[in-house]
């Protein structure tokens, strides 16, 4: 997804995605031990780092990301392809842009939002995304939010000449364009998911990463309609009244 900052900075958050070979052993173990459910989504699925392990825990899997992430040619598990082509080969995995996901009537049993919130430079987009995720889950369903809250490399990186502070992190200008690196402290993550209508079930901190399970209450309240605008330069989401 792209985020426009000021007149000419465009953050290309699709570049932040890592391949399956760089997945976390901790997270793979955590996901593979989950009880199977009927339907799940991976919001901000990136280069499908956790697709295989999540797919084993669910009958139906919805992958959600930007059009640019789905349609660009990239290496997926050693094969040069696009995510759209990759997904076409499966009959229980589907790829949805955020707009397509928002307009679906289906409500899911479980969600994942892994290392997505920390790459979004806008606080209002972070809230809109978490509200949308809540709206797409059944009452009683859970979502795993994973964010970076500490990174020792950040102190060194922030001092580089091509870096500047921005929001809860910093912007870096490189050959691949601009990237945003943010940190979300665990208490801020908890307050964000609460504001979006979730109840926090548990939080585990491990090596600078927070793993938070949030549950949709049975008497769920909050927005169900969203105004979403995705362009090749920017993304906006707002809960509609």
Query: Which of 11, 40, 41, 44 contacts ligand SAM by CB under 6 A?
Result: 44
Site for ligand SAM in 200-239 (CB under 6 A): 235
Q: Does 114 help bind ligand SAM (rule: CB under 6 A)?
A: yes
Our CB check for ligand SAM shows the closer of 121 and 197 to be: 121
Q: Does 135 help bind ligand SAM (rule: CB under 6 A)?
A: no
Q: Does 66 help bind ligand SAM (rule: CB under 6 A)?
A: yes
| Nearest-approach distance from CB 98 to ligand SAM, in angstroms | 5
Given the rule CB under 6 A, which of 39-47, 166-174, 186-194, 206-214 is the region that contacts ligand SAM?
39-47
Cα first-last separation, the chain: 25
Cα separation, 211 vs 204, in Å, equals: 5
Query: Which of 83, 87, 98, 163 contacts ligand SAM by CB under 6 A?
Result: 98
Q: How many residues bind ligand SAM (CB under 6 A)?
A: 23
Q: Does 49 help bind ligand SAM (rule: CB under 6 A)?
A: yes
| Nearest-approach distance from CB 221 to ligand SAM, in angstroms | 23
Our CB check for ligand SAM shows the closer of 172 and 219 to be: 172
Query: Which of 39, 46, 147, 196 contacts ligand SAM by CB under 6 A?
Result: 46
Query: Which of 55, 61, 93, 129 contacts ligand SAM by CB under 6 A?
Result: 129
Residue 109 and residue 2 in contact, taking contact as beta carbons nearer than 8 Å: no
Residues at the contact surface with ligand SAM, assessed by CB under 6 A: 1, 13-14, 16-18, 44-46, 49, 64-66, 69, 98, 114-116, 119-120, 125, 129, 235
């Amino acid at each position: 997804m792209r985020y426009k900052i000021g007149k000419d900075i465009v953050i290309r958050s699709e570049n932040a995605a890592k391949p399956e070979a760089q997945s976390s052993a901790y997270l793979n173990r955590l996901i593979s031990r989950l009880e199977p459910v009927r339907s799940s989504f991976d919001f901000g699925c990136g280069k499908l780092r956790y697709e295989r392990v999540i797919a084993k825990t669910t009958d139906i899997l919805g992958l959600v990301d930007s059009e640019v992430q789905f349609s660009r040619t990239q290496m997926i598990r050693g094969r040069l392809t696009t995510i759209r082509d990759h997904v076409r080969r499966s009959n229980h995995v589907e790829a949805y842009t955020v707009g397509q996901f928002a307009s679906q009537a289906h409500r899911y049993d479980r969600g994942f939002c892994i290392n997505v919130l920390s790459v979004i430079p806008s606080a209002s987009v972070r809230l809109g995304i978490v509200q949308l995720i809540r709206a797409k889950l059944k009452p009683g369903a859970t979502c795993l939010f994973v964010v970076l809250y500490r990174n020792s490399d950040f102190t060194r990186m922030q001092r580089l000449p091509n870096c500047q502070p921005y929001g809860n992190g910093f912007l870096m200008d490189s050959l691949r364009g601009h990237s945003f690196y943010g940190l979300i402290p665990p208490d801020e993550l908890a307050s964000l998911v609460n504001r979006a209508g979730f109840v926090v079930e548990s939080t585990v901190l491990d090596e600078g990463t927070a793993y938070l399970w949030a549950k949709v209450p049975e008497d769920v309240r909050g927005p169900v309609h969203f105004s979403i605008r995705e362009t090749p330069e920017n993304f906006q989401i707002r809960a509609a009244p």
